[in-house]
Amino acid sequence: MIRRQVLAWAAAAVAAAVAAPAFAQTITLHGAVQFNDDHAFNKSLLKFEELVKKYYAKPIVFVLHRNSELGLEKDYFAYMNQGKGVDYGIVSPAHMSTFSKAAPFIDAPFLFRDLDHWNKVLDADLLKPIADEIAQKADVMLIGYAGGGTRNIFVNKPVRNLAEMKNLKVRVQGAPIWSRTFAAIGMSPTVIAYNEVYNAIQNGVISAGENEAAGVESMKFYEVGPNLSMTEHAITIRPICFSGKTFRGLPSDLRAAIIRAGKEAGAYGRQVESSEDTAKLVALEKAGKLKRITFTDRAQMKKLVDPVMEAYAKEIGADGIFAAINNTK
């Protein structure tokens, strides 16, 4: 009886040893996002997962950490740079500035005339030199471009023109170009973590922030800044990022699937967010949660920003890219 048990245990151990290498072959990739599945970023990353599985056609596991479970976008980028904890995610270019001064230029204020111009710039791959610099200096690959939300300023009081905007305390992203352009307009820009904006307005530390419709909705910024000043000062580009360290450790057929899926998921994300943008604002306004305020001085605002943008482009060596973007018709 004991002999039979020993043989059975031995057989089970052999079976487990044989199965172990097969199990070890299953690759797990960890993604991170600040939002839930209603947000365009999540939809983009879930599409990326779907497409990788389709093109790779082998066992693979994706774990998407939602709702800031692993911190904020700046944290995800640092993790991807280290090759630890996060393999892929969507990150605002402003959070890449520690590694690349040129990165925030990807969607700087007043860079794009409108959505049509924005799409043409992306289709022409004019941002490739910046993506190459980010890959070299941060070891993070930009494998697709999501985004497409038009950013406006949410405020705790109506702001209709430059006079009413003067000295407005507004939260901006951490990259220097955002503080410089908003200061040139006459506002008082302050860098505050994204997840602290709501409380900062509620407590009177600032009076405003700026975001696209998806962010205003998901973070409920309309509760503390119910007046949406329609400045339309930026159209977002939100790269789908992938850790270079992780990428180099993957089999070649999976790497090919990731590159293909990233580009397609980015295009999908742009279509989702740009098409949802106005609809979200209309729904929020209809529900009485915010009021869209016509801003009458956009042309003057851009005129004030243009010299700052030109100087910044020259400073970071992106003046050629800036010219190419401006010349795109």
3-class DSSP state of 170: strand
pLDDT digits (tens, 9 = 90+) for 55-76: 999 999 999 999 999 999 999 9
Q: Report phi then psi at 270, rounded to 5.
A: -65, -40
Is the Cβ–Cβ distance between 180 and 215 less than 8 Å?
no
Mean pLDDT of all residues in 192-205: 96
4, pLDDT greater than 50:
no
* CA distance linking residue 253 with residue 55, whole number of Å: 9
pLDDT-based confidence at residue 107 (cuts at 50, 70, 90): confident
* Cβ burial, residue 292 (10 Å; 0-12/13-18/19+): middle
pLDDT-based confidence at residue 248 (cuts at 50, 70, 90): very high
Helix (H) or strand (E) holding 179: helix 176-185
Tell me what pLDDT residue 22 has.
39
Please indicate whether residue 107 or residue 33 has the higher confidence score (pLDDT). Answer: 33
Closest C-alpha among 17, 31, 29, 21 to residue 241? 31
Angle at 94 between CA 246 and CA 88, to 5 degrees: 20
- Between the two ends of the chain, the Cα-to-Cα distance in Å is 84
Scan for tokens 């199965």, then name that residue. 19
12, pLDDT greater than 70:
no
Q: Which fold has domain 2-91+102-320?
A: D-Maltodextrin-Binding Protein; domain 2 (3.40.190)
**Can you give the residue ranges of every domain in the chain?**
2-91+102-320
Closest C-alpha among 113, 129, 84 to residue 235? 113
Strands 60-65 and 227-243, by their bridges, are unpaired
Mean pLDDT of all residues in 218-239: 96
Tell me what pLDDT residue 175 has.
86
Closest C-alpha among 142, 45, 158 to residue 96? 142
pLDDT-based confidence at residue 155 (cuts at 50, 70, 90): very high
Please state the pTM of the whole predicted model. Answer: 0.83
43, pLDDT greater than 90:
yes
Tell me what pLDDT residue 25 has.
77
- Structure tokens of 322? 């800036």
